[in-house]
Structure 1
Amino acid sequence: MKKIIAVLLAFILLILPISCGKDSDDAGSAAVSGKESSAVTANTTKSAVSQAKNQSTGSSVSLAKLENLDNAKQGWGQGKQVDQNNRPISCAQFQNKYGKYGALFIKENTKKIYLTFDEGYENGYTSKILDSLKEKKVPAVFFVTYDYAKRNPGLVQRMINEGHVVGNHSYTHPSMPTLSLSKASGEITKMHEYVKDNFNYTMTLFRPPMGEFSERTLALAQSLGYKSVFWSFAYADWDPKKQIGADKAYKKIVGGLHGGAIYLLHAVSKDNAAVLGSFIDEAKKQGYAFAKLS
């Protein structure tokens, strides 16, 4: 019996060191794992901070590069001189010069034309314009300001729901070249964020207020992911108190037809609202198709 007890004690003494060693290894492994986890967390934090700094620095460098570009203010208008295809000559010249910045003054000389409307404030005609576009199955771009979008969310949502493009017409409608780069950038980004936050819609087209621009502001818009959209047809339709009458407006709009035309019409005009459907019919009769600008 004593021999059996002695053998058992000896066996237990042999087992204990092995078990203790195993527990010690597990504890050490857990400690190493904890250190690795802390190291990964620390490295991730450092990486995030470093990335944020790099992004901030990159933004500063980008703005610094834009500072060197020409900021002389130019006011856009298509002029009266046209070529044999009724396309304004100045449009092709400016397109060739500034197309590298994503600017659009006129599109290719095809039978496609593009409708755009500027929306600075509501004058009661946008619904009728949308009705005509829906009836004729024609797309358009509506360039909206912050004030317009805030005051008329239902109309903006309808534009989106009915498949039109909503474009950025700036936050406060200033002359872009008169602003510092940071303020000019804010005019675009604040409007972009407002529409994104309130309508879950991402804008990619920008119309410079009053058509005033510079090489620098075009490059700025491009750096923010935007194309700057001008026009190859417009007329004096923006003052509700100085409407020329539906018949004259119709003749002017139809008379401006040309391949690749980008039409600028103001939605505050009762004349535009009155003749839009008839103009669309006539343009189609002449073989033109209305395309979505993008």
Structure 2
Amino acid sequence: MKYLFHRLSRSRNLLILAAAYIIGAGTGNLYSFLRSERNIVETSASSTSWGLSFQEEGKRPVGTASVEELAQYDAYFAEDTEEKVLYLTFDCGYENGNMPVILDALKKHHVPATFFAVGNFIKDNPALIKRMVQEGHIVGNHTFTHPDMSSISSMEAFQKELSSVEKLYESLIQAPMTKFYRPPRGIYSTENLSMAKELGYKTFFWSLAYVDWYEDKQPTKEEAFDKLLTRIHPGAVVLLHSTSKTNGEILDELLTKWEEMGYTFHSLTELIKN
């Protein structure tokens, strides 16, 4: 795994990163799936970085925006429920051999998942995309080039990032792509959310994630379980990265442990109905 991390030279951006660590799950804010420094972008003044504050074990964390605030944009980070349901999602930037193991575990446990894929993932892994669809999973839109979408102010440019992924998917699957969208690195603006809604998209953040994306600093099994078991809560939208070796190794056991805790797994299509 070879993520490129932006060298943020401006103190303002450093503060954003620090804040993301402090509030507990600014998971997407620290990495880029792109493999070229030419893709470095500035965070616009109106942008917000998604983050979470975990205040009580087994309870939904406080997000950068509330369930109600996000609802006006057809956006979600968790379900407001006391029922022990959870929604499993993966961010997919590229394939490094983990995806077949992940899909095997999901199939074993009959768990539906949503895979938010960037353009190159779909282009480079047609067989995996087809398998996801055949096994009942949703392929969501994580944009074509994984940019800071909050820095895009025109509807034309915003739409192009999403429609380019749609075209790849629809050419491969011969069916319309489900309009589920996740902002790269969790960076967004209310203008972005409005544009996504206008294009017919539902936007999904998350209520549980952990630092699983460093190739050379993968969490141990114990570290992963410490976060993923103690912070799970009714209505959770869980974000995992498909490139994490640890996630591939623990997923079967993790799903079993969540089942033993009384959780059932639903598709994001169920979340938007509630």
TM interval, shorter chain, is 0.7 to 0.9
Which amino acid is the alignment partner of residue 249 of structure 1? A
Matched, 1:221 2:199: no
Residue 98 of structure 1 aligns with which residue? 70
Contact 2:98 2:248 in 1 (8 A): yes
2: distance between equivalents of 1:276 and 1:141? 15
Which amino acid is the alignment partner of residue 99 of structure 1? A
Contact 2:67 2:80 in 1 (8 A): no
Matched, 1:278 2:253: yes
Note the C-alpha offset of 1:204: 1.4
Matched, 1:203 2:178: yes
1:240 alignment partner, SS class: coil
Residue 50 of structure 2 aligns with which residue? 76
1:86 alignment partner, SS class: coil
**Identity across the alignment (%):** 38
Which amino acid is the alignment partner of residue 126 of structure 1? M
The two structures, once aligned, show a CA RMSD in angstroms of: 1.6
Matched, 1:173 2:149: no
Name whichever structure is richer in strand by fraction.
2
Gaps of 5+ in 1: 1-69
Note the C-alpha offset of 1:287: 1.0
Gaps of 5+ in 2: 1-43, 270-274
Residue 45 of structure 1 aligns with which residue? none
1:175-208 residue CA offsets vs partner (Å, 9 max, x unmatched): 1011132211110111112211221232210010
Residue 110 of structure 2 aligns with which residue? 137
Note the C-alpha offset of 1:71: 7.5
Contact 2:116 2:141 in 1 (8 A): yes
1: distance between equivalents of 2:115 and 2:223? 24
2: distance between equivalents of 1:157 and 1:78? 33
Between Structure 1 and Structure 2, how many residues are aligned?
223
Deviates more, 1:284-293 or 1:178-187: 178-187
Note the C-alpha offset of 1:108: 2.4
**1:262 corresponds to which of 232, 237, 244:** 237
Name whichever structure is richer in helix by fraction.
1
Note the C-alpha offset of 1:247: 2.0
1:100-135 residue CA offsets vs partner (Å, 9 max, x unmatched): 111011112221101000000111101100000001
Q: TM-score, normalising length from structure 2?
A: 0.78
Q: TM-score, normalising length from structure 1?
A: 0.73
